Each structure stands twice: as C-alpha cells, then as structure tokens.
Chain A
Amino acid sequence: MTPPVLALRNLSVAIQGGPRIVEDVSLDVAAGEMVGLVGESGSGKSMTAYAALGLFPAPRVRIEAGAILLEGRDLAMLSQKEWRALRGSRIGMVFQDPAGFLDPVLPAGRQIAEALIVHGDRRGLAARVRALLAQVDLPESVALRYPHELSGGQKQRVLIAAALAMRPVLLIADEPTTALDVSVQAGILKLLDGLRQELGLAVLLISHDLAIVAQTCTRVFVMYAGQIVESGPTEAVFAAPRHPYTQGLLASLLDPQVRSELYAIPGTVPAAGMSPPGCRFHPRCPRARADPCALRPPVLTMRADGRMDRCWLADAD
C-alpha cells in the first residue's frame, strides 16, 4: 500500500524557549484526497500547515517533536537546503489573503514562473506559464499584469497557478477563500476540487469555515488550542459531532442568525501556553463538569467507528 502523501506524526511546534503552539498533532492526506483542518483562528491550524513546509511566518518558531512524512520520507530532519528543494516543487501552498501574498512590483507571470526558476526548470518558461494560467482559468494576458491590476479571485488563481507550477504532490491551502467575496469563493473551491481530481493532488484545506469543508473535504480534523480535538469522515463528523467544540462550531454554522457573527461559542481560544488545566475547552464548554473536565486533560481516543475525539464526555452520551 502506498503511504499517504502527507502524514504528520505527533507533531509539536513551539516558540523557541516558549510555549507549544501545536501539540502532538497527527494527520494524513492521501493522493487525490482533500482533507479539512478546521478551528477558530489561533487554534494552531495555520502553524500546522506551515510546519509541513518547514517554514514559519514568524522567527523563533521551531518544530519541536514529531515527524513530517512526505510520501513516506521524514522531512523533520532535513537541512534548510533540502527543505528548499521540496518547497514549491513537491509541496505547494496557497494563502489566505492573495493581495498580500503577491509581490506588488512583479507581473503575475513572473511570480508564477518563480517556482520553475528557483528549481532550475527553465525550459519553455513562457509557454508553461500560459498553460498554468489556462489551468486556473485565467486569460494569457494576466501574465503581464501587476497584482494591483487583478481582482481578488484572479489573484488567488495566480497564487494557485504559482503553487502548482512544479506539479507538486501536495497542496496546502490556508484559508484560500476567506478574503474573497462569497461569489468568488465558490469558483476557487471548484477550481481546487477540479485540480485535485485532475492532477491527483493531495490537498490539505485549512479553514475556519465548516461549510466550505463540508462541501469539499472527505475527511476533517478539528483543532482547538493546538490540539486535534476530533477527526473523522466529514459527513459522519458533521452529522454527529462528538466533541462539544465541534458541536459549537456546527451550531453556529447552522443557525443563520448567529452565523453572521462568526461563532456563537462564548469566550476565545486561549493563547499558547495559557491553556487551563484539564480539558483545554472546558471553560467554554456548556457541558463541562468539575470532574474530570477541569482536572485531567482528556486524551485523543479512537472510537469504534474509527473516528477520534478528545472529550471526557464523548462516550458518556
């Protein structure tokens, strides 16, 4: 059996000399599969994604423990140079705010070509840029345009084209539609899904928006305060969430009145290193009990149906 394209094994990420931001996360994404990683902002899902690239947006953040397996090969031990050889060639990444992630002074074509250039694959550059543009449903003329001349959706398509330039096996999409208009969102998602099918891509979709995950992902991982709190097939998880956090997320999604206010769960995600003792969610949990929730941390437990959760009360139901 071929190994999953991406497998994170007990991954922990920490600020050097400081608290852990991501703790003991394990997940995997197979070829041709789109997997969702959801949670509120600050829950550590973006950091998990960056860890898979060996690249962090802030200095002094380090992979502390665990393994990152790309097609079965552990990346955590790689040198910077070896990491660089993988980024953009085997792993592509698409970001949240396409405006900020495109260099404002370079035409779009140059940015799409960048991965090709840095990985020393310069043959037929212009033609391949055109092909990539076609693949993301953009006209050729976009190649010569500057980011400020493109719409939000076009920019995101350019970023996707840039990420796919080297035909990576894994695409990490970090909130790819958050900054876009609702009308544009659907198009981007459709594009990602199409590419997944067409290219057999493994896609890790990171989002706070459960609706998006429900539409596109086969499996979902729910993160809270740096930990996975629930995982399983999307349909099953959404149909019958076991962790109160997932339940809260879904509730706020389903109630049209609160949806506009993002989430209805009271309180906020604790900052890294500020998690309460016991279950990290218990202060916000409507069902939390003094014992054991506030006393002992629950462990991630696999249930009989293969789904996992991290709740003292999940099997009590």
Chain B
Amino acid sequence: MRRILHAIPLLLAVILLNYGLIAATPGDPVTALVGDFPAPAAYRAQVRHDYGLDKPVPIQALRYLVRVLHGDLGYSFANRQPVVSLIAGRLLATLELVGTALAFASIAGVLLGAVSAQFGGGIFDRATRGALTVGYALPEFWVGQMLILCFAIWLGWLPSQGAHAIRGAAGGWAGIADGLRHLLLPAIALSLRYLALIARVTRTSILDVLGANFVLAARARGAGSIRVLFGHALRNAAAPVLNTIGFNLGFILAGSALVETVFGWPGIGRLLFDSIESRDYPTMLGILLLVSVCVVGANLLTDIVHRLVDPRVA
C-alpha cells in the first residue's frame, strides 16, 4: 500500500514531464499537441483553447494533468484517431511480443544462470558466461537483422515480417502455429540481451546463495544439488533477479520498438517509429506516458512479487 502511494507522485511527475516536453517544444506548443504538419488553422485554435495554451503555465499544466488523468491522451491528427484508441489497437501485439520475450528471457535466463552456477568454474560455466557476455553486447535490432538473414533469407525456414501469415490468420491450431512461427524470430531478437542479463544476475546471486550456511545445513540434511538449487537457492536468489526483470521492463519495451521495426510487428513500437517518421507528437507522447506507466507498474509488481517470495520484506 505504501508502495502504491509511493508510485503516485512518480506517475504525476511523468505526466508533468510530458507536459514539459510539450511546453519546451521549439516553436508553438500547439505543434506538440497536433503533430508537425499542416492541420487546419481552426483545428489548431481549438486545441490551443482546449489545452488552455492561452492561459498561464501552471493552469496549462493542470489542465493537461486533468485531461491525462481522464484518459485523454489527445488526438492524433495524423491518424485521425484519438491517441488512446490508436495505442489500444496496437497494445495486444506488443504485449504478445514483449510478454513472450520477457517470459522466455526470464525462464531461460534463470535456468541457464542456475545451471551455470551449479557447474561453477567448469567448462560449461565458462562457455555459458562467455556466450552471455557476448549476448549482452548485441544490439537487438542487429540481432533481428541477422536472424532474418539466416532463418528467413538464407534458410527460408521462418517468415521475416508481421505477426501472422500475410494471407490472413488461419483459425485453430494452424493459426496458433502460424502465430508462433511469426513470433519466434522477433521474440528471440528481443529477449537475447535480457536473457543474458538475467542469466548473469541469476548466476551471481545463486553462487552467493550456494555459499550460504543454510545451503550447507540443507546438504547436511541430505539434500542433493537439485533440491538445493530449486528448494533453496532459486528462491533466495530471486530478489536480485526479480529486480533485474522489473527494472529492465522499460528497456525491453524500448527494445521492442526497434525489434518491431525490423520485423514489421504491428505493435506500439512500430507505432512509435511511424509517429516519429510522421512527427505525430501526440502519439509519441502518449506512448512515452504508457511506457513510463508500465515501468512504474512493473516496479510496483516487482515489489509485490518480491514480498511474496521473501518473507523478510515487510
């Protein structure tokens, strides 16, 4: 509860930052609310009036705040649609991609880190660590390009674009299989860096835990490596891993902008790219707000999960 209270000022600050960007836009702030293209003068005047841009700055900020809190993120003149509905239309695709990538990165990362820690210092551990260090250095959009090059262009195994077959989504199992085929490459491209990061953090914190006395005690009770790992080490190592996952949600959302662009994935990231190309500022700011809210939410969620996993955090 205290955490939730703590998140509220952060959210307000994010909204005010958005307003600050509008106010600081070079030239006319209306431009930031309309988008940088020739909208009719009457429309611009309407926006100026609606947002109180003829009023003093504090009132402007307050009006903006109230509007946003009412769920009004403005109107995308470029798309002739309210920003909220524009974003909502793309949200599912991004959640699908980011969710898959995050789940994959978390599960595979934790397993890899755990196994690597288990074989601490051995060949497997060293090879894994080397691979993880490299993986963490790869820009996700380049990984995407290389995956397209290998698996779509050279081998021709997987599609390189979109969220489902160009010929339209099939129903039933065929549709699901088709969706997965399209999801595979972008999800891998997006998850690679986070997988590496999560694996590294997992490995370090499991190594820490494996050296702890209670692990010795468990082994003295006859617990084997697997039980030690899953019964004790993972749960105790969870806090830093969870923090890493929560802390990086903002980055993974941003990474999805790049990956969605490479793979033509019809999500928020792609929308962001398009709105940058068409200087559709209201959409851009709406996405910034959404992503920030997601990050605040993710941190909150991390805290809650952390609390569930670790009884010491009261």
Contact = CB atoms under 8 A, between A and B. Distances in A.
Interface of A: 53, 55, 57, 84-89, 92-93, 95, 97, 100-107, 111, 114-115, 118-119, 146, 148-149, 159, 162-163, 165
Given A86-B222, A118-B222, A118-B223, A102 B217 contact: yes
A87 B219 contact: yes
Chain B interface, DSSP helix/strand/loop, else mixed: helix
A57 B220 CA distance: 10
B121 to A, nearest CB: 9
Interface of B: 212-214, 216-224, 227, 231-232, 235-236, 309-312
Contact of A89 (B222, B309, B312): B222
A104 B312 contact: yes
Contact of B223 (A100, A101, A114, A165): A114
Contacts of A53: 220
Given A103-B214, A107-B311, 18 more contacts: A57-B216, A84-B224, A87-B222, A95-B217, A101-B217, A103-B236, A104-B311, A104-B312, A105-B235, A106-B231, A106-B235, A111-B218, A114-B231, A118-B223, A118-B224, A118-B227, A148-B311, A162-B221
Nearest to A85: B222
Contacts of B222: 84-89, 115, 118-119
Contact of B214 (A85, A101, A119): A101
Which 5 pairs show the lowest CB-CB distances between chains A and B? A88-B222, A88-B221, A100-B213, A101-B217, A115-B221
Nearest to B224: A84
Contacts of A146: 311-312
B312 A148 contact: yes
13 contacts: A85-B222, A87-B219, A88-B220, A89-B222, A95-B213, A95-B216, A101-B217, A104-B236, A105-B309, A106-B231, A114-B218, A119-B222, A149-B311
A55 B232 contact: no
B304 to A, nearest CB: 16
Contacts of B220: 53, 55, 87-88, 92-93, 163
Given A55-B216, A87-B221, A104 B227 contact: no
Nearest to B310: A105
